[in-house]
């Protein structure tokens, strides 16, 4: 039933609005209801489409969209037209919760030359719109639009009044939905599981800012040796590698489009200290859930903290290499950083005896120096540590 038919039948115009408000709070708790609610709004407002967009506060780019009709139009707008739409900066500058006819957002002859107006909006019968911008959480803008084809004329005062009645409830429903999406996308349990390992993990939001990092990742950043954080963004120490890192991250995030354009990748990062390079793995985190522009992890960067000292127990060393208890105790102490002399003094042994024990351990492991022996045992520790982390 159209608006005009409802008035003619004597239906109370307030009843559909109250029903829509109740449905909005259903949608806040169940994302699958949103599409039907937008379709019901279109009927109540005598529109042929409703559009809900969330624009990022920093880039001004659309990061989430939902439409009641032509679902393919949302992806097409976000990926192709959102960044060239002449109206966007003016929409984002609109005062909070003031419905505005979109024709007033074009300047001079822009409407005649606009690809958005003449290609995209014409294709989807959307050349008449009443657009409202609202202040969303964390400074983002929520844009709510009632749409119909040009031939049906602009939205009238009675329709605008209904939209004004709905606006605070649309905003509240989106806020609730964002909060729920953020909680469900929480990755803290994963980071906590990784806190005891050498695997470093950074979770990035849609702008590339670090949302969370586990203990190994924080250690890497504190050293400022190869990988650093500037204003919350991961940066490599050397310019060429930093450019490669930013390109990998941008692809995984889908920056500028909201759609990941890359599957991530591996990158070796050099360290000013001349230590072993850091190997980074950048991957997108795709969510099947509609997030309504919530600040959730969108990409992850993994690395291995190569500077964390590893150790094996004397029993494990003995088991792996067939060493006696005295030999494995000595090797375990060397791995903890003790010298032969310190070990001898601590155990009240002669240094000669300890060196004889060391010589036997090297013979059994096929190594020819104390450094080679420690390196061998460290490689065992690294292998076993990775086995526990996986």
CATH number of the domain enclosing 193: 3.30.450.20
pLDDT for position 198: 60
Same domain? For 294 and 261 the reply is yes
Residue at a domain's end among 155, 184, 213: 184
Q: What are phi and psi of 298, to 5 degrees?
A: -110, -25
103: in domain:
yes
Range of the domain at 382: 314-389
115: in domain:
yes
269: in domain:
yes
Residue at a domain's end among 158, 184, 210: 184
276: in domain:
yes
Same domain? For 122 and 135 the reply is yes
How many whole angstroms separate alpha carbon 96 and alpha carbon 99?
Answer: 9
CATH number, residue 35? 3.30.450.80
pLDDT for position 39: 92
- Yes or no: say if 73 and 116 are a contact pair by the CB < 8 Å rule: no
Question: For the chain, how many structural domains are there in total?
Answer: 3
Same domain? For 268 and 137 the reply is no
- Yes or no: say if 343 and 330 are a contact pair by the CB < 8 Å rule: yes
Low-confidence ranges of the chain (pLDDT < 70): 1-16, 29, 179-199, 255-264, 286-296, 304-312, 336-337, 371-372, 375-376, 378-390
C-alpha dist (Å) from residue 93 to 54, 74, 84, 116, 120: 14, 22, 16, 19, 22
pLDDT for position 259: 43
Report the 10 Å Cβ neighbour count for 211: 23
Same domain? For 192 and 145 the reply is no
342: in domain:
yes
Same domain? For 88 and 232 the reply is no
pLDDT digits (tens, 9 = 90+) for 225-252: 999 999 889 999 999 999 999 998 888 8
Same domain? For 169 and 133 the reply is yes
Residue at a domain's end among 264, 280, 304: 304
pLDDT digits (tens, 9 = 90+) for 8-58: 334 444 456 777 887 887 777 677 888 899 999 999 999 999 999 888 888
* Contacts of residue 215, Cβ cutoff 8 Å, sequence gap at least 6: 195, 196
Same domain? For 284 and 342 the reply is no
Same domain? For 201 and 168 the reply is no
CATH number, residue 331? 1.10.10.10
* Secondary structure tally for the chain: helices H, strands E: 17, 12
Same domain? For 144 and 229 the reply is no
Tokens of 275: 């230590």
DSSP secondary structure letter of residue 32: G
102: in domain:
yes
How many whole angstroms separate alpha carbon 373 and alpha carbon 362?
Answer: 6
Same domain? For 220 and 158 the reply is no
309: in domain:
no
Same domain? For 195 and 274 the reply is yes
Same domain? For 25 and 168 the reply is yes
pTM for the full predicted model: 0.52
């Amino acid at each position: 039933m159209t608006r005009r038919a409802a008035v003619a039948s004597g239906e109370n115009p307030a009843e559909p609005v109250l029903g829509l408000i109740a449905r909005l709070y259903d949608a806040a708790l169940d994302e699958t209801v949103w599409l039907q609610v937008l379709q019901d709004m279109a009927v109540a407002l005598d529109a042929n489409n409703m559009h809900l967009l969330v624009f990022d506060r920093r880039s001004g780019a659309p990061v989430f969209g939902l439409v009641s009709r032509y679902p393919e139009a949302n992806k097409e707008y976000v990926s192709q037209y959102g960044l060239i739409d002449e109206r966007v900066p003016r929409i984002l500058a609109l005062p909070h919760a003031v419905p505005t006819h979109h024709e007033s957002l074009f300047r001079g002859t822009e409407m005649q030359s606009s690809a958005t107006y003449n290609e995209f909006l014409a294709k989807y019968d959307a050349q008449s719109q009443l657009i409202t911008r609202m202040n969303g959480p964390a400074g983002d803008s929520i844009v709510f639009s009632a749409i119909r084809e040009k031939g049906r004329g602009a939205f009238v005062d009675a329709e605008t009044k209904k939209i004004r009645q709905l606006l605070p409830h649309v905003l509240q429903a989106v806020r609730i939905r964002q909060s729920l999406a953020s909680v469900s996308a929480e990755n803290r349990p994963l980071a906590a599981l990784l806190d005891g390992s050498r695997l470093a993990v950074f979770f990035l939001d849609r702008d590339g800012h670090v949302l969370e990092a586990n203990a190994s990742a924080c250690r890497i950043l504190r050293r400022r040796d190869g990988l650093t954080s500037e204003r919350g963004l991961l940066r490599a120490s050397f310019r060429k590698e930093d450019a490669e890192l930013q390109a990998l991250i941008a692809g995984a995030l889908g920056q500028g489009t909201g759609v990941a354009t890359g599957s991530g990748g591996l990158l070796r990062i050099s360290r000013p200290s001349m230590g072993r390079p850091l190997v980074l793995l950048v991957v997108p985190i795709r969510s099947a859930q509609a997030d309504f522009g919530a600040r959730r992890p969108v990409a992850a960067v993994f690395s291995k903290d190569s500077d964390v000292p590893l150790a094996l127990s004397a029993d494990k060393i003995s088991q792996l290499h067939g060493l006696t208890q005295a030999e494995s105790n000595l090797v375990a102490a060397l791995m903890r950083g003790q010298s032969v002399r310190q070990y001898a003094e601590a155990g009240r042994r002669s240094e000669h005896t300890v060196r004889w024990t060391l010589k036997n351990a090297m013979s059994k492991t096929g190594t020819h120096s104390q450094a080679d022996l420690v390196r061998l045992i460290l490689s065992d520790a690294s292998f076993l540590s990775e086995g526990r982390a996986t």
